[in-house]
Structure 1
Amino acid sequence: MLILLPILAIICAPALWLVLGRPRFLAKVGSDEEATIKVSVVIPARDEEINIGALLDSLNAQTRPAHEVIVVDDGSSDRTAEIAREKGARVISGKELPDGWNGKPWACTQGAEAATGDWYLFLDADTRLAPDALSKLVGAAWRNGGAVSVCPHHQVEQPYEELSVFFNVMMLAGVNAFGFCEEEACALFGQCLLISAEDYELVGGHESVKGKVLENFYLADQLSRCGVARECYVGLRAVWMRMFPEGFDQLYSSWMKGFAAGAGHAAARAIVFSSIWLTGAMLAMVGLFIAPFVGVTCAALCVTTYLLYVGQCLWVFRLAGSFSQWNAWLFPISLLFYQWTFFSALRAHKQGRKVKWKGREVG
Structure 2
Amino acid sequence: MDILFISVIIRWMIGWGLVYRLPQLPNLQVIGEPKVSVIIPARNEEKTLPKLLAALAKQSFHPYQIIVIDDQSTDNTAAIAHCAGVQVIQTQPLPFGWTGKNWAIQTGYEIASGEILIFLDADTEPQPEFLARLVANVQHLGGLVSVQPYHRTEQPYELLAVLFNLVGLMAVKLGPNGGVAFGPAMATTRQDYERVGGHHAVSGYVVEDWFIAHLYEKQGLPASAYLGDDQLSYRMYPGGISDLIIGFNKNFATAAGQVSWVKMLAVVLWLSGLFWAAWCLPATLFNWPVAGNPSLLQSVVIYIAYMIQLTLIVRKVGSFGWISTIFPIPVIFFIGVFIWAIFNLERGEIQWKERKISTRWRGS
> TM-score if structure 1 supplies the norm length?
0.92
- Over 3 Å counting, the alpha-carbon distance change for 1:150 and 1:262 in structure 2 is closer
Do the aligned residues in 2 keep the contact of 1:8 with 1:283 (CA within 8 Å)? no
How far off is 1:28 after superposition?
A: 2.3
Tell me the equivalent position of 2:337. Answer: 341
Tell me the equivalent position of 1:357. Answer: 352
Tell me the equivalent position of 1:172. Answer: 169
- Over 3 Å counting, the alpha-carbon distance change for 1:5 and 1:284 in structure 2 is farther
How far off is 1:359 after superposition?
A: 1.2
Tell me the percent identity. Answer: 36
Do the aligned residues in 2 keep the contact of 1:59 with 1:129 (CA within 8 Å)? yes
How far off is 1:255 after superposition?
A: 1.0
Cα offsets for 1:185-243 (capped at 9, x unmatched): 52110111011100000001000000100001110111000011121111100011111
Counterparts of residues 18-29 of structure 1 (less than 5 Å): 18-29=17-28
How far off is 1:17 after superposition?
A: 2.9
Partner of 1:99, secondary structure, is coil
Opposite residue 55 of structure 1, the aligned amino acid is: L
Deviates more, 1:207-216 or 1:165-174: 165-174
Do the aligned residues in 2 keep the contact of 1:175 with 1:188 (CA within 8 Å)? no
Do the aligned residues in 2 keep the contact of 1:288 with 1:302 (CA within 8 Å)? yes
Partner of 1:56, secondary structure, is helix
Opposite residue 21 of structure 1, the aligned amino acid is: Y
Counterparts of residues 219-230 of structure 1 (less than 5 Å): 219-230=212-223
Do the aligned residues in 1 keep the contact of 2:284 with 2:294 (CA within 8 Å)? no
Counterparts of residues 101-250 of structure 1 (less than 5 Å): 101-177=98-174, 186-250=179-243
Deviates more, 1:283-292 or 1:148-157: 283-292
Counterpart CA distance in 2 for 1:329 and 1:208 is 44
Partner of 2:37, secondary structure, is strand
Counterpart CA distance in 2 for 1:104 and 1:12 is 38
Counterpart CA distance in 1 for 2:11 and 2:172 is 20
Cα offsets for 1:241-266 (capped at 9, x unmatched): 11111111111111111125454223
Counterpart CA distance in 2 for 1:267 and 1:88 is 44
How far off is 1:35 after superposition?
A: 3.2
Opposite residue 8 of structure 2, the aligned amino acid is: A
Counterpart CA distance in 2 for 1:261 and 1:360 is 18
Counterparts of residues 60-71 of structure 1 (less than 5 Å): 60-71=57-68
Counterpart CA distance in 2 for 1:146 and 1:194 is 8
Do the aligned residues in 1 keep the contact of 2:178 with 2:225 (CA within 8 Å)? no
Opposite residue 11 of structure 1, the aligned amino acid is: I
- Over 3 Å counting, the alpha-carbon distance change for 1:268 and 1:38 in structure 2 is farther
Deviates more, 1:253-262 or 1:270-279: 253-262
Task: Number of aligned residue pairs: give it.
Answer: 354
Counterpart among 264, 272, 276 of residue 257 in structure 2: 264
Tell me the equivalent position of 1:52. Answer: 49
Partner of 1:72, secondary structure, is strand
Structure 2 stretches lacking a partner, 5+ long? 360-364
Do the aligned residues in 1 keep the contact of 2:11 with 2:269 (CA within 8 Å)? yes
Counterpart CA distance in 1 for 2:231 and 2:190 is 23
Counterpart CA distance in 2 for 1:26 and 1:354 is 35
Partner of 2:186, secondary structure, is strand
How far off is 1:8 after superposition?
A: 2.2
Partner of 1:44, secondary structure, is strand
Opposite residue 320 of structure 1, the aligned amino acid is: V
Opposite residue 298 of structure 1, the aligned amino acid is: S
Partner of 2:257, secondary structure, is helix
Counterparts of residues 32-43 of structure 1 (less than 5 Å): 34-43=31-40
> TM-score if structure 2 supplies the norm length?
0.92
Counterpart CA distance in 2 for 1:297 and 1:208 is 53
- Over 3 Å counting, the alpha-carbon distance change for 1:267 and 1:88 in structure 2 is farther
Counterpart CA distance in 2 for 1:242 and 1:302 is 35
Counterpart CA distance in 2 for 1:202 and 1:53 is 33
Cα offsets for 1:107-152 (capped at 9, x unmatched): 1111111111101110111111001111111222222222110000
Counterpart CA distance in 1 for 2:32 and 2:15 is 39
Cα offsets for 1:49-96 (capped at 9, x unmatched): 111110111111101111111011111000001101111221000111
How far off is 1:16 after superposition?
A: 2.0
Structure 1 stretches lacking a partner, 5+ long? none
